Chains A and B, each alone.
Chain A
Amino acid sequence: MRRVHLFGGALAVAFAFVGASANAQELYGTLKKIRDSGAIVIGHNEDSPPFASFDADGKPKGYSIDICNKIAVAVKAELKMDNLAVKFQAVNGQTRTPLLVNGTVDLVCATTTNTFSRQKQVDFLNTMFVTGNRLLVKKNSGIKEIEDLKGKVVSANQGTTNEKVLNELNQKLNLGIKVLSTKDQPQAWIALESDRTDAHMTDEVVEYGLIAKSKNPDQYAVAGRLLSFDPYAIVIRRDDSAFRSLGNRVLADLYRSGEWEQIYSKWMSTIGQPLSPELKLLMSMQNYPD
């Protein structure tokens, strides 16, 4: 009995291998799903300019959206489906993981920091942007570095990597900062504007964006050194190397051809953030050969 089982098991394994190698060229995962459904669904933030927000006609626009559109074009070519539909689905911090995992959206274009904790649940394409925590302050506050915030009130948005960094630095540098956990950027802005807080901690690029759209941009400043390293990446489902490699090839092409710099200046000029040599180098390092 036992031997029969073993034999059967071995046969099954052998067939599985044969089957797998025969199917190696077949589509699987996200690409298969896109071909079968005839549509690629791009999940995106609604309120994260210049990365992902809406234009006047209510269409998604931004740096992340541009890159995802490039990926959609590449998917179209890969699947040879000229009439592939590109759909958009708005997501937020609460919905993006479930909607990605259950197949409602195929990739998430937002301002997501690639972290190892999150990699247990989702996968990330190569880095599409690098930023980090800095301080958003009022110019006349005299605050230059985080050390100047001893005993003051600083906000960071709930559940973000920014909040984590703020709490860690507060302990490590023994600053006695009172942390206000704001719900989102608009609330953090009101708190800073109305002198409820002395500084807001978030990603540098977000701070430039907040200042750019404020009523009195000249009263606010991005201050201090970079306090963390936040690589933004497009989020995809785990264990899907075919789709990941397709996405990464699109990114590498953008960095190699210089098209990335056009996308960068198209969106970052709207908030007045120049392209630093460091960022340019970081991006060019992902220019993997075809």
Chain B
Amino acid sequence: MRYNWNWSVLFADPYFGWILSGLGWTILVSLVAWIIGLALGSVIGVMRTLPSPVARAVGATYVEVFRNVPLLVQIFLFYFVLPEVLPREMGRWLKRDLPHPELTMAIISLGLYTACRVAEQVRAGIQSAGKGLANAGLATGLTTAQLYRLILLPLAYRLTVPALTNEFLNVFKNSSLALTIGVLELTARTRAVADYTYQSIEAFTAASLIYATISFLVSFLMRRAETMAQLPGTLAARER
């Protein structure tokens, strides 16, 4: 293999700037999508465990719809198809007047997709907290809202920190799909550097290292959070 290595291309103008700005968009898309995912996912997850059959059906439908359609297709549907099926004026607004349409739509669709995965984890957490606690809470006179707020949710989140860490990392990796609708995030910028210079191995190595660094950083922070959130008396706590 006679590859002409040139690592300095990564630090050359304008490519270094591209990679940096790509990293910035990746972080922005991921963080905002994660906030949407965590908030909406918690609501859906709770709905799936409520006594009301309607709430459970709505929650279940949401999860099934968003879990079963590939994210790439969802992003495409949100960006290209949704404006066409909406009333004309609203569609035009989405396409033209919405600030940064591709960025906004990427964040929304990634957030909604993440929500369905977070919902399942929250549901699992609530259910593993056990029926006994729920019944005990109700017996002491707590309302359903209080039961969730004071007992079930705090337990559920603490039990599911490792799974949520995993989801948080997935958001970063999934954010690379935003390039399909024109968000110039890290992967898109990497591809551009590779295409302009043909130094594709250097460019993709750099991107891999950046994604890996983000992952290590998040894992490290979340492991601290995990230790702090550990429940005394559970298996996870005994392992330490």
Q: Mark A148-180, 1 if CB is under 8 A from B, else 0.
A: 000001010011100110000000000000001
Distance A115 CA – B197 CA, assembled complex (angstroms): 9
Contact B184–A181 (Cβ < 8 Å): yes
Instruction: Tell me which residues across on chain B come within 8 A of A155, comparing CB atoms.
Output: 182
B140 interface hit (Cβ, 8 Å): no
Closest approach, in angstroms, between the C-beta of B17 and any C-beta of chain A? 13
List B residues 72-108 near A (Cβ within 8 Å).
Answer: 80, 83-84, 92, 95-96, 101-102
Residues on B with C-beta less than 8 A from A216 are none
Binds B, one of A1-9, A52-60, A188-196: A188-196
Residue B27 is within 8 A (CB to CB) of chain A in the complex = no
Chain A interface SS verdict (over half): loop
A residues near B, CB below 8 A? 93-94, 97-98, 101-103, 115, 117-118, 120-122, 153, 155, 158-160, 163-164, 180-183, 187, 190-191, 194-196, 237-239
B1 touches A183 (CB 8 A): no
The number of residue pairs between A and B whose CB atoms lie closer than 8 Å in the complex comes to 90
Cα-based distance from A187 to B193 in the complex (angstroms)? 21
Within 8 A of A (CB), among B192-239: 192-201, 204
Q: Given that A159-B196, A183-B179 are known contacts, is A93 also in contact with B80, CB under 8 Å in the complex?
A: no
Q: Is the interface of B mostly helix, strand, loop or mixed?
A: helix
Minimum CB–CB distance for A284 against chain B, Å: 30
Instruction: Judge whether B3 is part of the interface by a CB distance below 8 angstroms.
Output: yes
Query: CA of A120 to CA of B196 in the docked complex: distance in angstroms?
Result: 11
Whether B3 lies near A101 (C-beta < 8 A) is: yes
Which of A153, A159, A160 is within 8 Å of B96, CB to CB?
A153
* Minimum-distance CB pairs A-B, first 7: A159-B195, A159-B192, A121-B198, A181-B182, A102-B1, A118-B198, A97-B198
Query: B179 touching A158 by the CB < 8 A rule?
Result: yes
Residue in A closest to B199 when the chains form the complex, CB atoms: A121
Contact status A194-B80, CB under 8 Å = yes
Q: What residues of A have a CB within 8 angstroms of the CB of B84 in the complex?
A: 194
Contact across chains for B180 and A183 when beta carbons are under 8 A apart: yes
A120 B191 Cβ-Cβ under 8 A? no
Tell whether, in the assembled complex, residue A182 and residue B182 are in contact, meaning their CB atoms are under 8 Å apart: yes
Does B192 lie within 8 Å of A94, measured CB to CB? no
- Is A94 touching B194 in the complex (CB atoms < 8 A)? yes
- A117-B198, A183-B181 are known contacts. Are A196 and B95 too (CB-CB below 8 A)? yes
Is B68 located at the chain interface by the 8 A CB criterion?
no
Tell whether A190 pairs with B80 under 8 Å between CB atoms, given A94-B200, A97-B198, A102-B3: yes
- Which residues from chain A contact B192 at a C-beta distance below 8 Å? 158-159, 163
**Interchain CB contact under 8 A, B188 and A94:** no
For the complex, is B240 an interface residue (Cβ under 8 Å from A)?
A: no
A237 to B4, CA, bound (A): 10
Q: Check A158–B2 contact: CB distance below 8 A.
A: no
Determine whether the beta carbon of B92 is less than 8 Å from that of A195.
yes
Instruction: Say whether B52 faces chain A, with CB atoms less than 8 Å apart.
Output: no
> A159: which of B6, B95, B191 is its contact (CB, 8 Å)?
B191
Residues of A within 8 A of B83 (CB): 194, 196
Quote the shortest CB–CB distance from A38 to chain B (angstroms): 20
Residues of A within 8 A of B3 (CB): 98, 101-102, 121
* 14 further interface pairs, Cβ-Cβ under 8 Å (given A190-B80, A196-B83): A94-B204, A97-B194, A97-B198, A97-B199, A101-B1, A101-B3, A159-B191, A159-B196, A160-B195, A181-B182, A181-B184, A194-B80, A195-B95, A196-B95
Q: Which residues of B contact A181 (CB under 8 A)?
A: 182, 184, 188
Given that A180-B102, A190-B80, A196-B95 are contacting pairs, would A122 and B182 also be in contact in the complex, using a CB cutoff of 8 Å? Answer: no
